[in-house]
Amino acid sequence: MKAISSTQTTPLIKDSDRLENRLQEIPAEPGVYFMRDRNENILYIGKSKKLRSRVRSYFRDSQNLSHRIANMVRQVWEIEFIVTDSEAEALALEANLIKQHQPYFNILLKDDKKYPYVCITWSEDYPRIYITRKRRKQQQKDKYYGPFVDAGKLRNTLDTVKRVFPLRQRPKPLFKDRPCLNYDIGLCPGVCQQLVTPEQYHQMVQKVAMVFSGRTGELIDILQTQMEKAAAELNFEEAAKLRDRLKALDILTSDRKVALPDDTVTRDAIALAKDDRHCCIQLFQIRAGRLVGRLGFFAEARSNRPGAILQRVLEEHYATAEGPEIPTEILVQHPLPDEDILTAFLSDRKGRKVSIINPQRQQKAELIEMVEKNALYELERTQRHADRTIKSLQDLTEILDLPELPKRIEGYDISHIQGSNAVASQVVFIDGVAAKQHYRHYKIKNPEIKIGHSDDFASMAEVISRRFRKQENLPDLIMIDGGKGQLSAVVNVLEKMDLFQHLKVIGLAKQQEEIFLPHQSDAIDTDPEQPGVQLLRRVRDEAHRFAVSFHRQQRMKQTRRSRLDDIPGLGFQRQKQLLAHFHSIDYIRAASVQQLQEVPGIGLSLAEEIYNYFH
C-alpha cells in the first residue's frame, strides 16, 4: 500500500499543487484506491485498470459528477492505493476491502425498500437465528442471509423451520437450572443446559442455513437420503421425523414456479430502466425453477452506460456473498464492459464456473423482458414520487419566499413527561426525502429541567445552540415543532451566535398546522393540505417520532435500573454484575440469598439486603 502523509490542513480539491503531486505519485497500473477524509476515515474504495487516470477523473472540472460523488470529492484529504497484477485481482481485493470497511460513499445503489435479512450468529457456540433489517457486522463469523422480499413469508418460513428442526427458541434461558417447556415438546434440544454439544447444534443449524441460502433442493436430497437410511436400519422414529421435515420443506418451495426447461440451474436475471434522473434495477433470484426473491435497487442515472451500471450493481451485490449463494448462471439485459473479469471473480469465489449470458431469444430472453417490465413499473413509480416531491419543494419555496428550492431541511422536536428524561431530535430531509444517516438525538443537559419542571423553550434553545456550535452543514431551512414561543427561543439563540441572518427558521404549530415566521405575530395564510405544508408536516411528524422513540428508550433504561438504585450499598458496578449474571430484574427478584451470593462482589449481608428489598 502506498500511504500518503496526512499533514495537510485543507481538502485536496482546494490545494491544486498538492493534488497534482498526489496524482503524479499514483501509477498507471491496475489496483485499488482509497479516499480518506480529514479524520482518516475511508470515504470510498474503488478499483481501476489504470489507477492514475481513474483517480484524476474525480478532480476534473469538466467531469459530470453526481451530487453524491461531488460531495465525496469535497471531503477527500488523502488518497492511498494498492497496486495489483491485474484488474481481476483488483476486483477481488476491492470486494474484500469494501466488505471489511463498508465506506459510506461505496453505495452506487440502494434498496428501493428496506428488505429483511435472516441473521445466524455463527460466532456463538449455540447460534441464534433471527430476522433483522439492519446488517450490523459486529462479529466476523455472523452471517446474514437475504435480503428477502416478502417479510411475511420470511417470518412464516422461520416459524416453520423452528417447528420442524429442534432449534434454540429463546435469546436467553428462562430457567437457570433446568430447560423450559420447548425442550419437553421437542422444539429445542436443551441449549440452555447444554444438553446438545456445540458441534451437533452447528450441524443442525447448517441444514437450516441451506433453506435461507436458496439451497432447499440440496437439503431435501440430503434429508431424503437420511430418511431412507434410517428406515433401512429400522429406526422408524428418526425416519418419521425426517419425513415430517421433508413435507414442511416441500410446502415452503411449492409456489411461484418459473417455467424454464433446465430448472436444476440456479440463476439470477437482472435488468434496468432509466431516464435522465433515475435508474431502477430489478434482480430476480431463481432457484430450482422457482422465483424465490425479487430485489429492487436505485442507482444514479448518470452512473455511466447501462451495461456499466449492471456490472457495478452485480459487483456490489455479490461482494459479500459466499460461494453457495452465487448462482451458476446470470442473465443480463445488456452486455457487461468487463464481463470476463466479473466471470473470473465469481467463478473463483463459487469454486466452479459461473456463466454470464446476454440472452437474445427464447425463454431466457423472455425472462429478461419480464424483469425489465418490472423495472419500468418501478421507474414510473419513482418518477411520480419525484414529481410530487419537486412540487412540494416548489410550493414551500413560494410559501416562505425562499431564493431557491431548499435542499437541506432540518426539523427539531422535544419529548419528555413532566420534565423527566427530556430529549430532543434533529431530523434531516435532503431534496424533500428523509436522510436518516444525518439524524441526531440529544439529551437535555439543563439542570433546571427535571421531574416536575419542564421548559420546552429552554430545551429547544439548548439544542439549537449545541447543533450550530461548529457552524457546519448549515441547512437551507430550520423547522421547529411549536408555535411562537419555541420559535422566539430559537431566534434569540441564533442572533447571539450571529447566524440568524444566514438561516431561514420557521415554527409549525400542531393544532391548526400554522406556520410562524420570526418577529411576526400572525401565522402565514396557508392551506393545511397544500403540498408545501404537507412536506413540513412530514418533517414535523418524523421529528416527533424520532424524539418520542428516543425518550421511550431512555425511560425504559431508567425503569430497568431505578429499582436497583434504591437498594442501599448496591453501587453501579455491582448493579452491572448482577444484571450480567441474571440478565433481568425479574430473575434478580426470584433469586435466593445463596444464588445472589454467587455474583462476584455480593457478600452475605448485601445479598440479604437485596433479597429483603424485593420480598
Residues 244 and 125 reside in one and the same domain: yes
Residues 337 and 318 reside in one and the same domain: yes
User: pLDDT per residue over 242-287, tens digit each?
Assistant: 787 777 666 555 544 454 555 567 889 999 999 887 889 999 888 7
Q: Which helix (H) or strand (E) holds 343?
A: helix 339-350
pLDDT of residue 255: 47
Task: State the Cα–Cα distance between residues 438 and 479, nearest whole angstrom.
Answer: 16
Using a 10 angstrom Cβ sphere, with 0-12 exposed, 13-18 middle and 19 or more buried, the burial of residue 419 is middle
**Domain-terminating residue out of 52, 87, 106:** 106
Residues 234 and 191 reside in one and the same domain: yes
Residues 364 and 419 reside in one and the same domain: no
Classify 209 as helix, strand or coil: helix
Task: State the Cα–Cα distance between residues 326 and 311, nearest whole angstrom.
Answer: 15
Phi, psi of 279 (to 5 degrees): -140, 120
510 versus 351: the higher-pLDDT residue is 351
| Count of structural domains, the chain | 5
On whether residue 396 sits in a domain, the answer given is no
Using a 10 angstrom Cβ sphere, with 0-12 exposed, 13-18 middle and 19 or more buried, the burial of residue 613 is middle
Residues 434 and 547 reside in one and the same domain: yes
Residues 456 and 541 reside in one and the same domain: yes
Residues 160 and 97 reside in one and the same domain: no
Phi, psi of 115 (to 5 degrees): -75, 145
CATH number of domain containing 506: 3.30.420.340
Q: What is the largest CA-CA distance in the chain?
A: 89
**Domain-terminating residue out of 252, 280, 309:** 252
Residues 432 and 548 reside in one and the same domain: yes
**Domain-terminating residue out of 106, 138, 160:** 106
Strands ordered across the beta sheet of 278-287: 109-111, 290-300, 278-287, 267-274, 329-332, 355-357
Using a 10 angstrom Cβ sphere, with 0-12 exposed, 13-18 middle and 19 or more buried, the burial of residue 91 is buried
- pLDDT band of residue 560 (cuts 50, 70, 90) is low
User: pLDDT per residue over 140-165, tens digit each?
Assistant: 678 877 667 667 777 877 887 777 77
Angle formed at CA 533 by CA 532 and CA 534, multiple of 5 degrees = 90
User: pLDDT per residue over 513-550, tens digit each?
Assistant: 899 999 988 889 888 889 999 999 999 999 999 999 99
Residues 330 and 285 reside in one and the same domain: yes
- Do the Cβ atoms of 431 and 411 come closer than 8 Å? no
**Strand boundaries in 431-466, DSSP class E:** 433-434, 440-443
* DSSP assigned state of 49: S
Q: Is the pLDDT of residue 4 over 70?
A: no
Residues 342-371, mean pLDDT to the nearest whole number: 89
Residue 163 sits in which domain range? 117-252
